Amino acid sequence: METNNPLPDDFLKELFRDQFSESPSDHFVENVMEQILREPETVQARKPFFQSIKSSWPYVLLGLIVILFLVSSDLPFTDYIPGKEYITKNLLPYFRSLFSGFKSLQLSMKTISIPLMIALAGGLLVTLDHFLFRKPNVRHQTTH
């Protein structure tokens, strides 16, 4: 005759005698959580300020050229641009008077040639540095 004994073996009876099958041990959650590897936090890389300026200067230059064209042109639709009259009647004469001193500097070749040579030499050195000593792009790859 068979009994309703689920653990026929004496060794198994000894092992499970003090264990309760309905509730886990007191430190069960802590033990499981220790075994789970933490996922590393992903932090969005911040772009340095000088790189933001370096990458946006063509757009600023293009915007200034478009604004200068629209303000100084005689196209009929540019009369509807708000503030055009203020710019043409107040700001442009102010800048003309502000930079009128440069006309006398341009008349004498000696005063303009030295800064021009310095600017050209600096531009040449920067260009050579850029093309000759390019820094390779470093890409980090993780392998599993």
Confidence of residue 122 (pLDDT cuts 50, 70, 90): very high
Q: How confident is the model at residue 52 (pLDDT cuts 50, 70, 90)?
A: confident
- For residue 8, pLDDT beyond 70: no
Q: Is the pLDDT of residue 50 over 90?
A: no
- Which residue type does 137 have? N
Higher pLDDT, 120 or 141: 120
Tokens 């005698």, residue located: 17
pLDDT value at 128 more than 70: yes
How many other CB atoms sit within 10 Å of the CB of residue 78? 14
pTM score of the predicted model:
0.34
The pLDDT of residue 88 is 78
Higher pLDDT pick, 64 / 11:
64
pLDDT digits (tens, 9 = 90+) for 99-108: 887 777 666 6
CA distances for 90 relative to 7, 32, 62, 84, 98, angstroms: 101, 75, 23, 10, 12
